Chain A
């Protein structure tokens, strides 16, 4: 199993005169963040298992520029974006999948203005497709039978891009009970990390946003808080730790849950 894992880079394929069907854009959190690297690995295992011809940029990938742009540094954003677009266009990339809603939003909506036009999907949509095509067996194993999962909407997936159904379809495939928080879908409450807040302390207030959201998630009595964004992952995990519930309640990404149910962990 271990030696079977394939993680080709686009450069590897290009050397053989090949192109990937889909580029997996890992993102900075997926590459560096210890917790989110596990999501990257889970997703790569799924890609390997279903036999999708994918590739990653590997060392050639760089930040999309999203945090710089949202903080107000348009120069830095465009430097990043234009450099990335040169790489992507150089490899004639057509389709991109990413596990980060911020990368997803930026590449899908903002790169076209700078000459980068790709078919961009979020990994929740990719997993939804796999389930629909039967390439990932749904309701298998019973790992999740009798468990309660609540899904925390990522703002950059939900309100920013109207992706509400895909992550829920993925969770429904797990045969767990999906319970909604009071504020969900279009009314979902932010985890507190978007708009470059991930990279600075919050302004003075009377509560941290992730604590407010975590309390709401805990009210559902779910065993698992499912997330689909690296920043949400950090914020919700910190919130659960703050409430000293990390033994009872797990924060997991959709890809990790699917990998678990497929026996890939």
Chain B
């Protein structure tokens, strides 16, 4: 019986570890459904981008108040997790605060610092809950946020509040037990925040207090494991995906559209020009543009998992601002939802990204202004997905709006997008010479 808590702990950690590993491999498999991404080579620039944008939160600071609050949570979670190391060792070895005797005063300073961070996290989470549920912040109230996305956002914040409360409660109870010289409770010195917040636990008898301390300890650590699993199903996955996503983010000018090599080959063969490398015609049934997730690149799919639905893209999208259906955030959410579905049911389930999730009305409304791309704090490009679906609509369905077809025809016959005659192209020069 003496080893029961340790056995339970190891089984619990193994259980969650297994589920998390299985989920990670599913996500990796889903991302690999994507096609090859043509990424410019410059590892140094990529590393710099990751350090600045993900680690350094550079683009978050385009909106200062949420950036500061977010920074509190971000720093808190990274640093407080150092303490989780001790909790895990204690859980496996059956010890209690194994680092306390080793570190002495430094331990007290460290835990006080973590408590300060925990209070910062609590504060930010409460403000974020108010921003999402009380204040009328437009980008949190868009139609794509109704239902699960809004609940997901609130759940994340509530779980974080519970985790922080548990760590502070655990420390608070621990100190009172220390003062009563309870067995196993190593002397650590005072933790100011938890002492202040949970001083009233002193009214409990020692037996109950041990129960409270143990309960808080278990809630905290099981909570962390469960939350880690939850994150892999949630928009909160950005805590991990922000790093690879900024690394593999675009380093070329944002205005550049990727070239379709398979079309270059066909056009060159049509014009009787030499084709480098493989000059066999493209196989029948090859699809131009994107209808479903497997027509997109793996970077587009990684983008979908990196999106935390903050809506900064949508808040700056000129189409969305003027009441059009297009929301760049919804493009990313749709891509992830479809990818999850296709990963589970297979790609041949009779559904597709374009049509069942994203509509032509949405992609047709895009002005290619790059505001969404510029606004994204983790280097996601909704625009890239929009452009690839447009290619499918035009080249596979001939489904462009009529006036675009007319424009295509003008370019083909008059070499200008308007219906002007080729012979009139240089008229301006005569006008200038004659009239100044």
- Say whether A155 contacts B424, CB under 8 Å: no
B252 adjacent to A109 (CB under 8 Å): yes
Cα-based distance from A41 to B429 in the complex (angstroms): 8
Question: Hey, which chain B residues are within 8 Å of A45, CB to CB?
Answer: 432
CB within 8 Å of A: which of B346-405?
Answer: 361, 364-371, 373-374, 387, 390-395, 400-401, 403-404
Q: A94 CA to B210 CA in the complex, in Å?
A: 80
Interface: B306 (CB within 8 A): no
- A92-119 interface code vs B (CB 8 A; 1 in, 0 out): 0000000000000100111001100000
Chain A nearest CB from B407 CB (Å) reads 4
B416 CB–A CB distance under 8 Å: yes
Q: Which A1-38 residues have a C-beta within 8 angstroms of B?
A: 1-3, 5, 7, 9, 26, 28, 30-33, 37
**Which residues of the partner chain A approach B416 to less than 8 Å between Cβ atoms?**
28, 31-32, 62-63
CA distance A180 to B370 in the complex (A): 20
- Structural contact, A195 and B324, CB atoms closer than 8 A: no
**Segment 325-365 of B: residues with Cβ below 8 Å from A:** 325-326, 361, 364-365
Stretch at the interface among A73-81, A123-131, A138-146, A220-228: A73-81
Binary per-residue interface labels of chain B (172-203) against chain A in the complex, 1 for a CB within 8 Å, 0 otherwise: 00000000000000000000000000000000
Which residues of chain B are within 8 angstroms of A203 by Cβ–Cβ distance? 319, 324-326, 361, 364-365
Contact at B316–A196, with CB atoms within 8 Å? Answer: no
Closest to B373 in A: A159
Q: Which residues of chain A are near B391, meaning CB under 8 Å? A: 72-74
- Across the interface, do A162 and B253 meet the contact criterion of CB distance under 8 Å? yes
Q: How far is the CA of A66 from the CA of B145 in the complex (A)?
A: 34
A204 touches B324 (CB 8 A): yes
Most buried by B among A5, A71, A108: A71
Interface pair A159/B403, CB less than 8 Å apart: no
Segment from A165-173, A183-191, A236-244, A250-258 that makes contact with B:
A183-191
Residues B407 and A41 in contact, CB atoms below 8 Å apart: no
- Confirm or deny: A249 has a beta carbon within 8 angstroms of a beta carbon on chain B: no
Residues of B within 8 A of A192 (CB): 318, 322, 367
Interface members, chain B 287-307 (any A CB < 8 Å): 288-289
Annotate A199-221 by CB proximity to B: 1 below 8 A, 0 otherwise: 11111111111001100000000
| Nearest CB in chain B: distance from A72 CB, A | 3
Closest CB in chain A relative to B62 CB, distance in Å = 8
Expressed in whole angstroms, the Cα–Cα distance for A209 and B407 within the complex equals 21
Q: Which residue of the partner chain, among A58, A114, A190, A204, contacts B264 with CB atoms under 8 Å?
A: A114
Are A209 and B319 neighbours in the complex by a CB distance under 8 Å? yes
Q: Assuming the A-B contacts A41-B432, A113-B259, are A196 and B423 also in contact, with contact meaning beta carbons closer than 8 angstroms in the complex? A: no
Other-chain contact of A5, B256, B392, B433 (Cβ < 8 Å): B433
Residues on the B chain within 8 Å of A190, using CB:
318, 367, 369, 371
> Which of B82-90, B104-112, B267-275 contacts the other chain?
B267-275
Task: For the complex formed, measure the closest distance between the CB of B38 and the CB atoms of chain A, giving whole angstroms.
Answer: 9
Rounded to whole Å, the gap between the CB of A94 and the closest CB of chain B is 20
**Which residue in B373, B417, B423 is a CB contact (below 8 Å) of A67?**
B417
What's the least CB distance linking B59 to chain A, in Å? Answer: 10
* A46 contacts B by Cβ under 8 Å: no
Whether the pair B407, A7 counts as a contact (CB closer than 8 A) is no
B418: interface (CB < 8 Å): yes
Are B395 and A74 in contact, CB atoms less than 8 angstroms apart?
yes
User: Interface on chain B toward A: helix, strand, loop, or mixed SS?
Assistant: helix
CA of A3 to CA of B433 in the docked complex: distance in angstroms? 6
Specify which of B366, B374, B426 is in contact with A31 (CB 8 Å cutoff).
Answer: B426
A58-B429, A72-B395 known; A109+B411 contact, CB < 8 A: no
Residues of chain A with a CB closer than 8 A to B254's CB: 159-161
Known contacts A74-B391, A82-B267: A109-B255 contact under CB 8 Å: yes
Q: Nearest chain-A residue to B424 (Cβ)?
A: A32
Nearest neighbor of B388 in chain A, beta-carbon distance: A72
A70–B319 touching, CB < 8 Å: no
Known A71-B408, A195-B369; judge A205-B415 contact (CB<8 A).
no
Across the interface, which residues of A come within 8 angstroms of B408, CB to CB? 68, 71, 73, 76
Q: Tell whether, in the assembled complex, residue B423 and residue A74 are in contact, meaning their CB atoms are under 8 Å apart.
A: no
- Cβ-neighbour of A63 out of B267, B394, B417 (below 8 A): B417
B 7-55 contacts with A by CB, 8 A = none
Q: Are B390 and A31 in contact (CB under 8 A)?
A: no
A37 B425 Cβ-Cβ under 8 A: no
Q: Does B422 contact A (CB under 8 A)?
A: yes
Interface centre among B267, B268, B364, B395 (most CB of A within 10 A): B267
Is B403 within 8 A of A201, CB to CB? Answer: yes
Find chain B residues with CB under 8 A from A31 CB. 416, 420, 425-428
Determine whether A44 belongs to the interface, using a CB cutoff of 8 Å to chain B.
Answer: yes
B321: interface (CB < 8 Å): yes
Docked Cα-Cα span, A3 to B391, in Å, equals 48
**In the complex, B263 has a CB within 8 A of chain A:** yes
A30 to B420, CA, bound (A): 13
Q: Is A121 an interface residue (CB 8 A)?
A: no
B284 lies within 8 A of chain A by Cβ? no
Residues of A within 8 A of B289 (CB): 72, 74
- Residues on A with C-beta less than 8 A from B412 are 76, 79
Is A68 within 8 A of B411, CB to CB?
Answer: yes
Given the known interface contacts A32-B420, A62-B415, the answer about A2 and B436 at a Cβ–Cβ threshold of 8 Å is yes
Give the most central of A3, A30, A79, A196: most B CB within 10 Å.
Answer: A196
- Verify A82–B322 contact, CB threshold 8 A: no
Report which of B255, B326, B411 forms a contact with A160, defined as CB distance below 8 A.
Answer: B255
- In the complex, whether B147 has a CB less than 8 A from a CB of chain A is no
A47 → B minimal CB distance (Å) = 12
A7 to B432, CA, bound (A): 9
A149 at the interface (CB under 8 A from B): no
CA A192 to CA B367, docked complex, whole Å: 6
B277 adjacent to chain A (CB < 8 Å) = no
* Contact partner, B395, options A44, A73, A200, A206, Cβ 8 Å: A73
Given A72-B390, A74-B395, 20 further pairs, Cβ under 8 A: A31-B426, A59-B422, A71-B400, A72-B392, A72-B394, A73-B391, A74-B260, A110-B257, A155-B369, A156-B255, A156-B368, A159-B254, A161-B255, A187-B316, A187-B374, A189-B321, A190-B371, A202-B322, A203-B361, A203-B365
Show 6 residue pairs from A and B whose CB-CB distance is below 8 angstroms, ordered by the A residue. Answer: A7-B432, A72-B395, A113-B264, A156-B255, A186-B62, A196-B368
| 6 closest A-B pairs by CB | A160-B255, A195-B368, A206-B323, A72-B390, A72-B394, A62-B415
